[in-house]
Amino acid sequence: MGHRAKNKQSAPKPLEGMPKPSAKKLGKRKAEVIDDKPSGRPTKRTKDQQIKSNVHSVNVKNDKTKQKKPKTDADAWEDIKDDIDIKAQTRSLFHGSDMDEEETFTGNLNDIEVDEDELLRGEVEEFDFDSDEVELPPQQFSSRIKKSKQAERPLKIIPNASDNSDSDEDSDDDPVTMANMETKSRALEARAAKEAQLDLDEIQAAAEMEDGDDFDMEDVEDDDENGEADGETFNLPTAEEREAERNAGGPDVHVVQRRMRECTRVLQKFKKRAEKGRSRAEYTSQLISDIASYYGYNEFLAEKLFLLFPVAEAIEFFEANEVPRPVTIRTNTLRTRRRDLAQVLINRGVNLEPIGKWTNVGLQVFESSVPIGATPEYLAGHYMLQAASSFLPVIALSPQPGERVLDMASAPGGKTTHIAALLQNTGVVFANDANKARTKSLSANVHRLGCKNVVVCSYDGREFPKVMGGFDRVLLDAPCSGTGVISKDSSVKVNKSERDFTLLAHLQKQLILCALDSVKPESKSGSYVVYSTCSVTVDENEAVVDYALRKRPNVHLVDTGIGFGVEGYTSYRGKVYDKSVKLTRRFYPHVHNMDGFFVAKFKVEKRSKKMLSGDKEQDNVGEETVTADRVDGDGEKVTFDDEEDKPYIEESKRRYLKSKGLRVPPRTAAVVKA
């Protein structure tokens, strides 16, 4: 069995209220673009169209004719709480960029020393950040979008046989006249749309076929196969042919498309469809290389992302990264109610609807005749422009009024302000970010949204809990590679190397231990830590979570409470993670029509003797907890070794004393050694 089959996840469950956007739908979107006909609701919008109606767009005319009222679905509004405190007064406004964007890691990765000892001692290193790195308003953001081959390709990813055949009906040979020009052009558009649809149907069908299959499909019955899906023979290029192709400046886009289709087809039923004498690795290598060139990735990242999914699903993932995600806003319940906000925005010419049943504050904006980032309501802090995926970690954190919360990496404050709203301006949120420049937009957002319970600070997260500890809940929305937000920032496609992932994972591991140590295990209402990233790689997600579970025997994973999402990997490419890691959740652009995201929720317990012997108290009724049978990366059960833990306990006591301003004893030899 191939290693990819081993790691294949079960089919993602359809999301209630947010149906899985199939490849078919993505195809439809394409078709609509070609068609350019006004439809009831624009489900597909190009990046340019979307950006036009997005934040800070000053050139959008107030064209009331554009206004499209959404059909009012009474049910969709039922989940709005009527008893929310409304504070509609407009406060003094802060100017500047306040877009909530997932910030991928911007520090100097060379500053992270990969030193396991250092990690455990938790000594904080100086960390350089590019002080100019502030979140960009969308116009600037769009200018960063790198054009891939996708931009110049025909409007379909994998063409079918009809692409190369001369169809009678298109009568391409007829001369183009003024009289037939429009008809001809419409016919061409319709054909392209139809073909795009057919191709994507094909991928979808392939994906469905693959569900339930082991990927090497040794025992799959094959009825109609002779290795030539479209009547034309496909020969996988040899190493020499590939070399010659490279020397000639790379393959033609149509050649790449055809090869992608053929390699996908072969890899799905390798034994039946592969050319004699050619290995699976050869097909995979060709496909990855073609994906990289077609979508504009470096080969390293193309492979890393490709390996996350079964073949056909991988193509869907790459394709979804070429499509912008929906524009969404989060109602600021400190200032207004969703229903009221929606009404005001509809009156201004914004076409919107509730995002789905899973959130009672989110609205999806389909079209707007006003700049959605510059309306009076926006400036008055009635809403935050925020990707739907960014709601998820805060839903998981579920802060309760009166609590003390740490948002460890918080700028520009999308999640901080959400937390403040859920706390109903009670308790306190310490909003920290190591990048001082970014705390400016964080403060601006905090003020604009009327959050009165937020303290902004700027420390390296690894200084916690030395700076301050004893929190009821901690959110670590970690700096990451941004492989989940490629549709927003395509520079990720080419600027990440293997070393970046190693260093980022190391930083994330350091931060997560500090986050866990900053929580008060005896909190009456909390003792939770949420770890999230806008990345889909396993190194930055499950591997970090598993590491934390191994290093902190007093913590365990609990259900995120989000209600949808794909289970985290419990094994991946030969590595075995704690089986409780399945409680973490992955979110994907091609499955959930959201940015790629990862969320894990930990419960922190007191370190008692009883727990150390594996018999933990079940004081968290109502939550699914998995505590026993922890397995480490080598497949061995992890036992808790008092001797081994001693230095960590001692170090944490030192931190505690220091945080209380008490005299700290010198480190013992055991601690220094650890």
Ligand X SMILES: C[S@@+](CC[C@H](N)C(=O)[O-])C[C@H]1O[C@@H](n2cnc3c(N)ncnc32)[C@H](O)[C@@H]1O
Residues lying near ligand X in the complex (CB under 6 A) are found at 100, 102-103, 107, 127, 390, 408-415, 433-435, 438, 460-462, 477, 479
| Alpha-carbon span 85 to 445, nearest angstrom | 20
- Does the annotation list 82 as a binding residue? no
- How far apart CA 69 and CA 351 sit, in angstroms, is 6
CB of 524 to ligand X, least distance (A): 26
Residue 412 among known ligand-binding residues: yes
List C-alpha distances in Å: 598 to 260, 342, 483, 499, 652. Answer: 29, 29, 11, 21, 28
Q: H or E stretch including 589?
A: helix 589-592
Q: How far is the CB of 534 from ligand X (least distance, A)?
A: 6
- C-alpha span between 54 and 329 (Å, rounded): 11
What is the closest distance, in whole angstroms, from the C-beta atom of residue 653 to ligand X in the complex?
Answer: 24
- Least Cα distance to 555 among 658, 481, 648, 664 occurs for 648
The rounded distance, in Å, linking the Cα atoms of 299 and 435 is: 31
Q: Is the peptide bond before 310 cis (omega within 30 degrees of 0)?
A: no
Is 410 flagged in the annotation as binding? yes
d(CA 528, CA 530): 7
Task: Give the count of beta carbons closer than 10 Å to the beta carbon of residue 589.
Answer: 28
Name the DSSP letter for residue 104.
Answer: B
CB of 478 within 8 A of CB of 531?
yes
In this structure, how many other beta carbons lie within 10 angstroms of the beta carbon of residue 263? 24
- Binding residue per annotation — 411? yes
Least separation in angstroms between CB 308 and ligand X: 20
Q: How many of the other CB atoms lie within 10 Å of CB of 565? A: 24
CB atoms under 10 Å from CB of 516, counted, come to 22
Q: Which is nearer to ligand X, 78 or 111 (CB)?
A: 111
Nearer to ligand X, 435 or 570 (CB): 435
Tokens 């990735």 label which residue? 297
Q: Residue 182 is inside which H or E element, if any?
A: helix 178-210
- Find out whether 332 and 383 touch, Cβ atoms under 8 Å: yes
Residue with tokens 């995201």: 597
Cβ closer to ligand X: 315 or 434?
434
Q: Are strands 428-432 and 454-457 parallel, antiparallel or unpaired?
A: parallel
Closest to ligand X by CB, 107 vs 647, is: 107
| Closest CB to ligand X among residues 102, 403 | 102
Residue (of 667, 62, 645, 539) closest to 348 by Cα position: 62
Active site residue 534: yes
Q: Which H or E run contains 475?
A: strand 473-477
Classify residue 142 by its DSSP letter: H
The single residue of 451, 480, 514, 534 carrying the catalytic annotation is 534
Smallest gap from residue 243 Cβ to ligand X (A): 41
State the nearest-atom distance from the C-beta of 387 to ligand X, in Å. Answer: 9
Q: By C-beta, is 28 or 330 nearer to ligand X?
A: 330
Nearer to ligand X, 274 or 507 (CB): 507
Minimum Å gap between C-beta 517 and ligand X is 14
Q: Is 619 annotated as ligand-binding?
A: no
Known binding-site residues for S-adenosyl-L-methionine equal: 409-415, 433, 460, 477
Task: Name the residues annotated as catalytic.
Answer: 534
Known binding-site residues equal: 409-415, 433, 460, 477
